[in-house]
Structure 1
Amino acid sequence: MAESIQANSRVFVHFTLKLEDGSTAESTRNNGKPALFTLGDETLSPGMEDQLVGLKAGDKKAFSLAPESAFGIPSPDMIQYFSRREFIDAGEPVPGAIMLFTGMDGSEMPGVVREVNGDSITVDFNHPLAGQTIHFDIEVLEIDPVLEALNADPVG
């Protein structure tokens, strides 16, 4: 087990993300289940990873990240327009609803329905927290935890 978080560490953490207005956007403490992250796998932003490197199990840290270091700046290129007939199988789109869309490569991508105007549906594929300064409160629980192998065949 590593003594401190390094560039490719796996870490169990409890975290709370708060917005500028003080509201909580997400918290692992609410459900009592810590998150597992692997640094370097592009799940976390480089700005977030930089804040974690060097921390040890038991460390707590509070910090803020500007939008460009957290979830990015909203891009107008990530807003797309669809016709209502493209939603026939998905049901009636409602502004604010998060829906899964299948990309050309077959991958799924969440989008937020921003507007329903007659036959036109506006969907925003920017991260829901893009453009926001985020305040983090993190507690490192474990570094490079030993994970139980799933579907492991017993040797013998």
Structure 2
Amino acid sequence: MKIQPNSVVALTYDLYTTQDGEEVFVEKATEEQPLVFLYGVGMMLPKFEENLTGLGTGDAYDFHLTAADAYGLKDDNAVTELPSDMFQGMDVPEVGSVLPLQDNQGNQFRARVTSVSETGVQVDLNHPMAGQDLHFKGQILNVREATEEELSHGHAHGADGHSGH
């Protein structure tokens, strides 16, 4: 079966970014711990899915995504300072740590701490991979039709269609 909308895909990948002109390994999904997802429902980066369209079980792939097609360009306006009184009674977060935050509409997002001062904590709201070109290499392990339950839930329930719950 070829990858198409409403199919469940299990694949391996090695992900690299380019830093200072050098390719740097970031993370991987292995045959033992593959990435399994419902194709075509917006869970994955659109250009990631586009590059997999029409591939089938056993096919290898190797493609690059520009930052604009991946997690976007870095937005310098997405750096802000949280007032220090927000952290009263709590440990002040360390530089490099990630804070789970929520806006007034209930949207959850993560902010990476870039500096800490007496007046507040400066955070970067950009995705950690914003501004980075991505390079994916891997293999399609399995492609199957999604079950009715997976389609109604909007996500895959594992490589074999069972969630294990």
* Structure 2 equivalent of residue 121 of structure 1: 121
Say which of 126, 131, 148 aligns to 2:162: 148
C-alpha displacement at 1:85, in angstroms? Answer: 1.6
Q: Deviations over 1:93-118 (max 9, x none)?
A: 11111121122233421111112122
Q: Which shifted more, 104-113 or 31-40?
A: 31-40
- Tell me the TM-score normalised to structure 2 length: 0.80
Aligned equivalent of 2:28: 27
In 1, Cα distance between the equivalents of 2:164 and 2:106? 26
Runs of 5+ unmatched residues, structure 2: 145-158
Question: Matched residue pairs, number?
Answer: 148
Change in CA separation of 1:39 and 1:88 when aligned onto 2, cut-off 3 Å: farther
Q: Partners of 1:84 and 1:42 in 2: how far apart?
A: 37
Amino acid at match of 1:54: G
Structure 1 length normalisation: TM-score?
0.84
Q: Distance in 2 between matches of 1:76 and 1:131?
A: 11
Contact (CA 8 Å) 2:101, 2:109: kept in 1 or not?
A: yes
Contact 2:4 2:40 in 1 (8 A): no
1:6 partner amino acid: Q
Q: Which runs of 5+ in 1 are unaligned?
A: 152-156
Q: 1:7 aligns with which of 5, 8, 19?
A: 5
Match of 2:137 in 1: 137
RMSD: 2.0
Q: From the superposition, tell whether residues 132 and 90 of structure 1 become closer, same or farther in structure 2 (CA, over 3 Å).
A: farther
Deviation at 1:64, TM superposition (A): 0.8
Q: Judging changes above 3 Å, is the alpha-carbon distance between structure 1 residues 66 and 142 closer, same or farther for their aligned structure 2 residues?
A: same
- CA shift for structure 1 position 149: 5.2
Runs of 4+ in structure 1 deviating by more than 6 angstroms, as ranges, are none
Query: Structure 1 residues 118-127 or 80-89, which shifts more?
Result: 80-89
Provide closer, same or farther for how the CA distance between residues 134 and 117 of structure 1 changes in structure 2, counting only shifts above 3 A.
same
Show the counterpart of 1:56: 56
Q: Tell me by how many angstroms 1:150 deviates.
A: 5.0
Q: 2:65 touches 2:134 (CA, 8 Å); kept in 1? A: yes
Residue aligned with 1:121, SS: strand
Q: Percent identical across equivalent pairs? A: 26
